[in-house]
Structure 1
Amino acid sequence: MSMIARWHFEAKFGHKQEAIALSKEWDEQIGKQTDLDFDGTRMLSGSVGAKEAEVQVEFEIDGLDELQTFFDKIASIKMHEDWGKRMGEVIVSGSTYWEVFRIVD
């Protein structure tokens, strides 16, 4: 079953481009160390009817087990911890969350 996993965060005022750059850095340096395919990853940014500071990163997964394996893997990567500290400086504390959607054909 295909699903979409979407990670949300809100950038601090004046720091949206830096937060986006850090998110892209994560994809290239840390995400590539996992077993997930990040080639189809999309990044969305708030525009009309959404918070301008809202950023979403979404990618396709095969199911919740694959997402759990992904979470377990990134928790073991030291670079992820260091990246998280830098990201924490440019996003609103407590604004991050995940959503998972089933793809309906």
Structure 2
Amino acid sequence: MRVCAAFIARFGGKADAVQLLQEWVQEIGSEAGLTPSNTSLSTGSIGAPESTLELEVRFDSLADLEGFWSAIPQQQHKAWGQRMQQYIVHGSPQWHVYRCLPAFPDGTPAASGSAAALGGRSSSSQPRGRPAAAASRNSGSSAASSSSGSLVLPSDDELSKYAEAADGAAPLPSTKQQTASGLSIVSGDEEAQTVLDWKGEPMQVRPGDRLPGVKFL
């Protein structure tokens, strides 16, 4: 268990209170069983009043705590208290007893394996907002993102406005120019012709049709 004796130092008397508390530990508390291994002093720093002083001692049981209190030299403690009272707020000394619980009930921390799993998952995961299926489908496309922006490809709904399915239709002679986006531009006065869209599927275009392009944002 953990036992804390808390004090509130008066304004301007904190340094003297700390010195007297250290004196009590070394000259009085040591006779009752306090050692450097089971005793510590602390003061408020962040999120706690700076005037707070705490003497913390660890005991194995309440019986050990009772034995410690009984072993304190009473005459020396009383004389020390008369010197200490001018540096602390009246009525502020309090004893706090905490029962310690195990942080790892099994006695073996398993954080190393979890940390490694999290690290591996974060390094191999797909970029947020891009499903794995879309990434696989677009990897074979001739369209690629540039350093100046993000590639935006036309949706299937947009393509359906300009194309009609061609079942086994043979391509007609035409004058075509292949663009970097994978789309074919048809020129001339020919009738409807069959070309491949950006996904490699056949589509029909006619003179005057507007073909969807690739935009960079």
Report how many aligned residue pairs link the two structures: 101
CA distance in structure 1 between the partners assigned to 2:14 and 2:35 by the alignment: 21
The alpha-carbon deviation at position 45 of structure 1 amounts to 0.7
Matched-pair contact (CA < 8 Å) for 1:12–1:92: yes
In terms of fraction of residues, the more helix-rich structure is: 1
- Structure 1 residue 37 displacement after superposition: 3.4
Q: Which amino acid aligns with 2:26?
A: E
Higher relative contact order (CA 8 A, sep 6+): 1
Residues 35-86 of structure 1, C-alpha deviations (whole Å, 9 max, x = no match): x232131111112221110011101111111111222222x43111100111
Match in the other structure for 2:86: 89
Normalising by the residue count of structure 2, what TM-score does the alignment of the two structures yield? Answer: 0.45
1:2-32 deviations in whole A, cap 9, x for unaligned?
Answer: x111100000001111101000000110012
Q: Unaligned 5+ residue runs, structure 1?
A: none
How far apart, CA to CA, are the structure 2 residues paired with 1:42 and 1:33? 16
Letter in 1 for 2:94: Y
Alignment RMSD (CA, Å): 1.2
The alignment partner of 1:19 has SS state of helix
Matches of 1:37 and 1:15 in 2, distance apart? 25
Aligned to 1:38: 35
C-alpha contact (below 8 Å) 2:25/2:34 kept by paired residues? no
Query: What is the TM-score with the length of structure 1 in the denominator?
Result: 0.89
Query: Gaps (5+ residues) in structure 2?
Result: 103-217
